[in-house]
Structure 1
């Protein structure tokens, strides 16, 4: 337990207020309002409590902790951290940060944090261990993964609003266009903390179905949703193209056309905001480049052209196709598990009552090393499974879980059931690796089948 006087800064009123605001902002305010204030609040509160937190653990290095905190914050908010973010997002789980020079204003709280650390006033009688755990959780939560949902076809939403929001704050995610009492929002991408099972059209459609409500909660100044069923035709002009839109209520519904002068670049149809029928893309010479066919918002056919010649045609998998294939994969895995059991039983009957003789030390070595082999075998098996189950830090979590459940099983096998032949070691490794894969793919099948 943390009980010495050096941990009292964790229970001061300024530290607790900033900790509370950091948690409130990350778990509610950002999602509910998503404005400049919520964007800056985490920076200010986080920079206040972060150096104080680490200073109580390294009291003789307080100055170094504060200087390093400021330096790392500047680096994090600069373009120099882009390569690290790209590596970490691809190797572990996606993380996100926005390069905004105004975020550096949060550095002003570092002198206040230093002053608060040395004054130590307004201490509350709270358990510093609990506060330390809560603060560490807040640091991790602030870096929670964010997932990006982009849109291959243009996506617009129509609202009632007399106010034009500050588009610079939403640059990269939204573009806003004001027409008297109407506001058109072009959605380029959405950021979500919800991990997609598969980043496919089906997942995109589940987001599109609630797109108007999501935008209403994220952009301040929007008054209300459009009247359901009301038809509106609007033209959006930009320096590069003109989009002819037809809305039913607040959602795109009907024909969509993107033009450059008199040249049609893209044309297709929407049904309640979801792509429908055939979409055609053309170049500046009016030659068809691609044709995409949609059924209930899922791409079922992609055709690519060069001039008038069809050069490629493909049929992407729908969510139903992936689910069917997942069932087939599970059947094959179960058959392989049955084969491993048959081989083990066959060797048992063939050699009974003889057992594989080995020294005690080697038995224990096998018990502690074979779970690692199971983990490696499970990773190899996953390579051959299309759309295999994966989660952030999955390889580490899988290792821990596989080690925890196979270690006692190998102890039972080696010391009680006993090995009969050397080849049985391989069969047991494959058996447990296949069982682990079946469990993971079953979880994925459940998520894929979840229509909620």
Structure 2
């Protein structure tokens, strides 16, 4: 078995696996250039067919051919329906349509050569014998998902511009979510979304405001040398022609500050106000017929009320909690969970004192309960998470929480069943709920602390 798995502990495989993970979790975010864009494709195409050929050696020719065909399909627009279905049904994945990525396909020949070379080796080297191939296989599976996992991004619902100064030509294909508008030496950059360094605890206007706090500086750093900031206090009025309409804006330094008006076919379709780059006061939206379609009220950049109109009459009003209100409600949720935890703990103590005899169970059943009940704890915790409306759990967080729950509660069940020993059958349910609530309280306090920062 060790010889059969030798290709996934070979130096080329380990090197490409390490580069793939390093690129996906650090280099892409930090540098975001042509090299980091292609490195994941090269390394992924190298290790993917080798990994599956080791598991299914009889089908390695088919695996390499299927890898090439799937890569072509994956990088084309034809794969979008599959990506949309998978993201809605299971968990979110993303990929960028770029046909130049197909130049990475010849790396499959290097992967085939490396696989054959390692399978014909008669003995493993000393350092290979010290590596556990099963751990490497688990890391490889993780890397296959991470290379297509969804990015953490913050989208902007209202138009978001920054004003910079440069005489350089800007490569407009470097960043797909940026649009550029030239006014002599001034450069207006329209931003649709921005990458975040980590997964936000909640996608809300508070998070959006934090993301755009130094937006002009962030964009200037992305565009590189020769792009300069404009000093605060420098007032600039511009009319920007976009596919959506003509935007009349006022900049203070490099940030939007003042009235914003968008016109289309001579009619105002959006009217609002910016203060240092964030929305303020009431924003009004009109349809192409000039009729009022909606109003959004902002307080310090956070939406507090959304109104929909029809025939100039309000048909729907939604009130939105600000971050301060969310923090307050989260604290109330934690207090309720602690109250439930205390009540269940009281019931368990009461049952223990009232029942003189211990609950008799076969040793096999005790082992089964200790192994299975931690899974039930996680299911209850996950149900509590959904009930409390927690925010944007991705597949990494779900799996990580499940593993952590099991590792913590499994020993606790062994202590409970074999050490403390139960008095009533119903105590199994109470202990399960107790551990689930304890874990949920811990997670909710962590969420509360992140929200309150």
Q: TM-score, normalised by structure 2?
A: 0.86
Matched-pair contact (CA < 8 Å) for 1:165–1:220:
no
1:366-407: per-residue Cα shift (whole Å, max 9, x none)? 222222322222233333213368453444333322222222
1:255-311: per-residue Cα shift (whole Å, max 9, x none)? 111011431111111111111111111123332221111111101122222223222
Q: Of the candidates 141, 151, 164, which is equivalent to residue 146 of structure 1?
A: 151
Structure 2: runs of 5 or more not aligned: 119-124
Give 1:80 shift.
4.1
Q: Of the candidates 67, 70, 81, which is equivalent to residue 69 of structure 1?
A: 67
**Aligned mates of 2:22, 2:421 — CA distance in 1:** 55
Question: Which residue matches 1:212?
Answer: 216
SS at match of 2:316: strand
**Aligned mates of 1:19, 1:218 — CA distance in 2:** 27
**Aligned mates of 1:384, 1:8 — CA distance in 2:** 43
Question: Which residue matches 1:78?
Answer: 76
**Aligned mates of 2:6, 2:369 — CA distance in 1:** 46
Asked if 1:156 is matched to 2:154, the reply is: no
- The alignment yields a C-alpha RMSD, in angstroms, of 3.2
1:405-435: per-residue Cα shift (whole Å, max 9, x none)? 2222222222332222222222212111111
Change (3 A) 1:230 1:50: same
Question: Which residue matches 1:355?
Answer: 358
Matched-pair contact (CA < 8 Å) for 2:8–2:50:
no
**Aligned mates of 1:407, 1:191 — CA distance in 2:** 38
**Aligned mates of 2:364, 2:303 — CA distance in 1:** 58
Question: Which residue matches 2:294?
Answer: 290
Matched-pair contact (CA < 8 Å) for 1:9–1:56:
no
Matched-pair contact (CA < 8 Å) for 1:164–1:183:
no
Q: Which moved more, 1:129-138 or 1:203-212?
A: 129-138
**Aligned mates of 1:23, 1:406 — CA distance in 2:** 31
Change (3 A) 1:126 1:67: farther
**Aligned mates of 1:219, 1:2 — CA distance in 2:** 49
Count of residues in Structure 1 that have an aligned counterpart in Structure 2:
442
Matched-pair contact (CA < 8 Å) for 1:266–1:279:
yes
Matched-pair contact (CA < 8 Å) for 1:47–1:110:
yes
1:25-104 matched pairs, under 5 angstroms: 25-52=23-50, 62-90=60-88, 93-104=91-102
Asked if 1:246 is matched to 2:247, the reply is: no
Question: Which residue matches 1:312?
Answer: 316
Asked if 1:276 is matched to 2:274, the reply is: no
Matched-pair contact (CA < 8 Å) for 1:268–1:279:
yes
1:301-353: per-residue Cα shift (whole Å, max 9, x none)? 222222232222222011111100010001011111111011112222222x2
Q: Of the candidates 176, 179, 182, which is equivalent to residue 178 of structure 1?
A: 182
Change (3 A) 1:214 1:151: same
SS at match of 1:209: coil
Question: Which residue matches 2:413?
Answer: 410
Matched-pair contact (CA < 8 Å) for 1:164–1:177:
no
Question: Which residue matches 2:451?
Answer: 448
SS at match of 1:225: coil
Asked if 1:425 is matched to 2:425, the reply is: no
Q: Which moved more, 1:30-39 or 1:327-336?
A: 30-39
SS at match of 1:411: helix
Change (3 A) 1:6 1:373: closer
1:161-185: per-residue Cα shift (whole Å, max 9, x none)? 22342334534x1211112111111
Q: Which moved more, 1:265-274 or 1:64-73?
A: 64-73
**Aligned mates of 1:321, 1:8 — CA distance in 2:** 51
SS at match of 2:269: strand
Matched-pair contact (CA < 8 Å) for 1:165–1:221:
no
Give 1:22 shift.
4.7
Give 1:104 shift.
1.4
